[in-house]
Amino acid sequence: MVEKGSVSGFYKGNSSMNSSMNSSKISTPQINTPKLDFVFYGGCPSLDLFNTLRRRKDPQHVTEDLLLQQDGLKKWLLKAQHRSGWAELLPPLHPNARNAVVSKDLQTQAIQLRSIIERLLAKDFVPEDIHTLNQMAQLKPYWQLSIEDGVLVTKHNLELESVLGLIAEDCMQLFSSNLCEKIKECAHERCGIVFLDRSNGSKRNWCSMKECGNRAKASRFAQKD
């Protein structure tokens, strides 16, 4: 079990949602629900990483950190490459990384990066966070250009460290531009998933129509009956 998220000073979103970003207390589980999986509703690497901490705001369930599972970071990336626009553009993970167990050190770095994103969302960051982001962003390069028989060839070398670098860079761009004004939290009070609202007129309210959008519809129907 981990502590509930402490996002309190969100950049943007429905004002009614901002107040709900305040942390909730550590809770006792009351309902058994199916196993959670990664979601890729964030619209960018940083927010998708942030959303690996599930049920941050759900008083009925324990908050679940999906990065803490065995090879959590690798599983997250491999799923992202099928389910998110930003990761589909990446080369495949290097076979060495694909076959290796994710080290404790790498897992810690990923969780550290996610905590920095959380503090940036809450406008509660410290200079050390910025220093760490700058350092992590240097891990990014994963293409290498070489000459083979007089021909230029690019080779990819995507390691999980490079993915942390890519997320750090995305984070730097996101929070230093007005793109951060498009960050919203799902309007469902117990969801807690954040995303970039790129819709026309900024009208997106739900992490996903399939999940919280439908839950809201169902509850409206139930109220009518």
* Residue 171 interacts with Zn ion (CB under 5 A): yes or no: no
**196 is written with which tokens?**
């970039």
Closer CB to Zn ion, 140 or 190, in the complex: 190
Judged by CB under 5 A, the residue of 114, 188, 197, 204 near Zn ion is 188
Judged by CB under 5 A, the residue of 168, 191, 194, 196 near Zn ion is 191
* Residue 17 interacts with Zn ion (CB under 5 A): yes or no: no
Closer CB to Zn ion, 54 or 114, in the complex: 54
Pairing of strands 53-54, 183-185: unpaired
Contact predicate 3/26, CB 8 Å = yes
* Residue 186 interacts with Zn ion (CB under 5 A): yes or no: yes
- For the chain, how far is it from start to end, CA to CA, in angstroms? 38
Least gap, CB of 87 to Zn ion (angstroms):
21
Least gap, CB of 207 to Zn ion (angstroms):
3
Contact predicate 54/64, CB 8 Å = yes
Least gap, CB of 61 to Zn ion (angstroms):
14
Buried b (16+ CB within 10 A) or exposed e, 54-80: bbbbbeebbbbbbbeeeebbbbbbbbb
Q: Which residues bind Zn ion (CB under 5 A)?
A: 186, 188, 191, 193, 207, 212
